[in-house]
């Protein structure tokens, strides 16, 4: 049998049915996530499917980045990990042919946020990922009481910190206010507010995620956005008010969410990507019992030049930290899409 590779719209029924039926699919394989990225940042979203005798055997979502002369494909930008879907034979055929298909479409580089088998493309470690198994259900949650977080959780409760979960637009706005503060403290531009409003409309309001907020006396101390589809709940965004860390809001927030994920039947909690040099964040995620593994991407046709982005970020950091939150937001509105 011969395998055919085809670029199709993300709304194509063949891709949608295939992606929704695959047990390994995450929220990032869904139509809603691709459409969110396309609308928020002005990208072209599509999928590539491999077929045998009219049957889809593998596929992956993609975003086209750049103009006609320096175009590239990414699966997917602003996404920690997005592996091709399908059985090993189908995935192998898709990966082996996608570079040629991209070249025919005028793209010189293909980035897959997934590690292909040795010999396929240029595989680079770009960070680490942490995944907590929840297969023990309630027992897994009970074990957390004996972790290093137990004292912090008791402190948070004694201080009156409570955690709520919501799906309203107002919940996203609460998160975004803390997110702007966090990004300003880190010295990096914040995502445009329209991204989070679209995230609410296309993902959260459709039952594919929620916002968790830790409050004390109604004051938001920390917040996080979680996305869920299939058996995996993903921690996608987090933010907090550093002036309130003494009340340990992050500890009680994650403890509450892990218990919630167990009750909802999720089999794993994906803590997402961490940079290799962010040792504090890596320790925090590992301390919950999450397994750390290298996060590797595969690139065909040479790496995209992100030197301008890196240099620009370094130059902007002092300005962002010492300016009003409005500067962090304005820079994000103007330049964030170029960090893909």
Q: State the residue for tokens 């002092």.
A: 318
- Provide the domain count of the chain: 2
Query: 44-52 and 3-8 as β-strands: parallel, antiparallel, unpaired?
Result: antiparallel
Would residue 281 count as lying in a domain?
Answer: no
Would residue 180 count as lying in a domain?
Answer: yes
Would residue 276 count as lying in a domain?
Answer: no
pLDDT category of residue 22 using cuts at 50, 70 and 90: very high
Q: 302 or 19: whose pLDDT is higher? A: 19
- What confidence score (pLDDT) does residue 193 get? 93
- What confidence score (pLDDT) does residue 144 get? 58
- The pLDDT tens digits for 266-304 are 999 999 999 999 999 999 999 998 999 999 999 988 655
| Residues 62 and 90 grouped into a single domain | yes
| Residues 74 and 146 grouped into a single domain | no
Bridge partners (DSSP) listed for residue 44: 64
- The pLDDT tens digits for 89-145 are 889 889 888 999 999 988 989 999 998 876 677 889 999 999 999 987 656 555 655
| Residues 245 and 155 grouped into a single domain | yes
Would residue 340 count as lying in a domain?
Answer: no
| Residues 117 and 140 grouped into a single domain | no
- What confidence score (pLDDT) does residue 311 get? 43
Residues 6+ apart with CB under 8 A from 311: none
- What confidence score (pLDDT) does residue 1 get? 54
Would residue 41 count as lying in a domain?
Answer: yes
**DSSP-derived 3-state class of residue 98:** helix
Would residue 328 count as lying in a domain?
Answer: no
- What confidence score (pLDDT) does residue 307 get? 44
DSSP string, 192-240: PHHHHHHHHHHTGGGTTEEEEEEEETTEEEEEEEEEEETTEEEEEEEEE
| Residues 18 and 67 grouped into a single domain | yes
- Rg (the chain; Cα; Å): 20
| Residues 241 and 187 grouped into a single domain | yes
- What confidence score (pLDDT) does residue 335 get? 74
Burial class (CB in 10 A: 0-12, 13-18, 19+), 172: buried
Averaged pLDDT of the chain: 89
| Residues 39 and 112 grouped into a single domain | yes
| CA 39 vs CA 44, 71, 201: distances in Å | 9, 18, 12
Q: Do 255 and 149 contact (CB within 8 A), yes or no?
A: yes
| Residues 62 and 183 grouped into a single domain | no
Q: What integer is the mean pLDDT of 212-225?
A: 97
**The pair of three-digit structure tokens given for residue 219, joined into one six-digit string:** 């004051």
pLDDT at 308 over 50: no
- What confidence score (pLDDT) does residue 129 get? 95
- The pLDDT tens digits for 238-271 are 999 999 999 999 999 999 999 999 999 999 999 9
Domain that holds residue 144: 135-266
- What confidence score (pLDDT) does residue 54 get? 84
Most confident of 14-18, 139-143, 149-153: 14-18
pLDDT category of residue 195 using cuts at 50, 70 and 90: very high
| Residues 94 and 168 grouped into a single domain | no
Q: What integer is the mean pLDDT of 2-18?
A: 92
Q: Determine what percent of the chain is predicted with pLDDT higher than 90.
A: 67
- What confidence score (pLDDT) does residue 119 get? 66
| Residues 140 and 62 grouped into a single domain | no
- What confidence score (pLDDT) does residue 17 get? 94
Would residue 112 count as lying in a domain?
Answer: yes
Would residue 331 count as lying in a domain?
Answer: no
Lowest pLDDT segment from 43-57, 62-76, 219-233: 62-76
- What confidence score (pLDDT) does residue 304 get? 55
Chain-centroid distance of CA 288 in Å reads 19
| Residues 225 and 253 grouped into a single domain | yes
- What confidence score (pLDDT) does residue 327 get? 81
CATH number at residue 100: 3.40.630.30
């Amino acid at each position: 049998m011969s395998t055919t590779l085809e670029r199709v719209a993300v709304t194509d029924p063949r891709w949608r049915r295939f992606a929704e039926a695959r047990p390994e699919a995450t929220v990032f394989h869904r139509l809603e996530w691709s459409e969110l990225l396309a609308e928020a940042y002005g990208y072209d979203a599509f999928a590539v499917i491999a077929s045998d005798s009219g049957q889809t055997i593998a596929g992956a979502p993609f975003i086209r980045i750049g103009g006609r002369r320096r175009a590239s494909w990414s699966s997917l930008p602003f996404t920690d990990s997005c592996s091709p879907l399908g059985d090993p034979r189908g995935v192998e055929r898709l990966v082996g042919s996608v570079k040629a298909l991209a070249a025919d479409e005028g793209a010189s580089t293909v980035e897959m946020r997934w590690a292909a088998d040795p010999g396929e493309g240029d595989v680079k470690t770009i960070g680490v990922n942490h995944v907590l198994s929840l297969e023990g259900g309630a027992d897994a949650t009970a074990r957390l009481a004996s972790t290093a977080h137990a004292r912090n959780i008791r402190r948070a409760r004694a201080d009156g910190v409570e955690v709520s979960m919501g799906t309203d637009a107002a919940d996203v706005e609460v998160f975004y206010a803390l997110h702007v503060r966090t990004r300003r403290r880190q010295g990096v531009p914040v995502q445009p507010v329209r991204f989070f409003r679209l995230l609410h409309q296309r993902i959260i309001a459709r039952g594919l995620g929620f916002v968790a907020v830790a409050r004390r006396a109604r004051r938001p101390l920390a917040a996080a956005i979680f996305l869920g589809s299939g058996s995996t709940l993903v921690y996608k965004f987090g933010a907090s008010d550093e002036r309130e860390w003494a009340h340990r809001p992050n500890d009680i927030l994650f403890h509450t969410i892990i218990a919630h994920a167990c009750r909802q039947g999720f089999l794993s909690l994906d803590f997402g990507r961490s940079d290799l040099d962010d040792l504090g964040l890596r320790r925090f995620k590992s301390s919950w019992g999450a397994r750390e593994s290298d996060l590797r991407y595969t690139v065909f046709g040479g790496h995209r030049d992100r030197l301008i982005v890196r240099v620009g970020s370094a130059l902007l950091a002092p300005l962002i930290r010492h300016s009003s939150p409005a500067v962090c937001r304005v820079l994000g509105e103007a330049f964030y899409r170029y960090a893909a």
